[in-house]
Amino acid sequence: MPLHLRAGQALELLRSIALAEVRDDAPDLSLRQMAILLTIYLDPPPHTVRGLAAKLNVTKPVVTRALDTMGAKKLVSRHRDERDRRNVLVKRTLEGALYVERLGDVVIARGGELPL
């Protein structure tokens, strides 16, 4: 059964998500970083810096910096493309998959608490 959210419920869901991220000591990503991370984990590979920048409508340095930060947190990894060594291929990691999975759980859990 599809959920038909009313405005107040939609905003409560959004606040629950934001709150869960704020309260936890989980790696708190900016919205940009979250959009990049979710794209990597939801869209089929391969993912390149340029491709991600174009898809999200941000500049390349933004992607590079986001990959720096999330790479330090082991949420993604970078590898040179051996077929075209100009390219960098962005790949998923176990830690990143767990983080994304937990993120989905938060949405589902909080969504389930909404009064319908």
Binding site for DNA (CB under 7 A): 30, 32-33, 48-51, 58-69, 72, 78, 83-88
- From 4, 83, 85, 86, residue interacting with a second copy (rule: CB under 8 A): 4
94 is an interface residue for a second copy by CB under 8 A: no
Question: How far is it, in rounded angstroms, from Cα 41 to Cα 33?
Answer: 12
Residue 64 is a binding residue for a second copy (CB under 8 A): no
The dihedral built from the CA positions of residue 32, 38, 43 and 44, taken in this order, carries a sign that is: positive
DSSP letter at 105? H
Classify 101 in phi/psi space as left (phi over 0), alpha (psi -120 to 50) or beta. alpha
Binding footprint of a second copy on the chain (CB under 8 A): 1-8, 10-15, 17-19, 21-23, 28-32, 34-35, 38-39, 41-42, 56-58, 100-101, 103-105, 107-108, 111-116
